[in-house]
Amino acid sequence: MLDKLKDITTFIFDVDGVLTDGSVFVTEAGEQCRTFNTKDGYALQLAVKCMYRVCVISGGKSEGVRHRLNGLGIYDVFLGAHIKLDLYKDYIAQNYIDPTNVLYMGDDIPDIDIMKAIGLPTCPADAAEEVKAVAKYISPALGGRGCVRDVIEKVLKIQGKWMSENATSL
């Protein structure tokens, strides 16, 4: 797996169960709220600052999620994705991305098709067993509890960008 890290140029993440722990808090007004990990957020900002492409593809439709990600500098955010593979294919074609240079992290059944199509499929420790069977790397961290930080940190370290000037100036 380590040899694949040196070629990663693009990170694509699912939201629920990856960037969050999969819990959804529903207010009396029906608003759905999620919790994000700040260490994951730091790593995401750093990846953007180090010129990696960072994309999010989610079946969820929460504009609060878009707001959080935009605040981290991530603007390639696709919500309400019913067929994630189609969005993924369009994204890599439009951006001239080699699929072997993509790290994707997902946690459940809708993520499997993309995971089979990219260079480095990853998942959190608490992913569905079917997803773990496809993943080439299973983070020891749980969804929403540092798994995103784990994979970004590994890529940036192997590429010599982890403790760079970008990392210390955020």
Annotated binding site for substrate: 16
Known binding residues are: 14, 16, 107
> Which residue(s) pair with 80 in the sheet?
none
78 burial via Cβ count (<10 Å: 0-12, 13-18, 19+): middle
Known binding residues for Mg(2+) are: 14, 107
Distance CA 20, CA 34 (A): 7
Strands 102-105 and 120-123: parallel
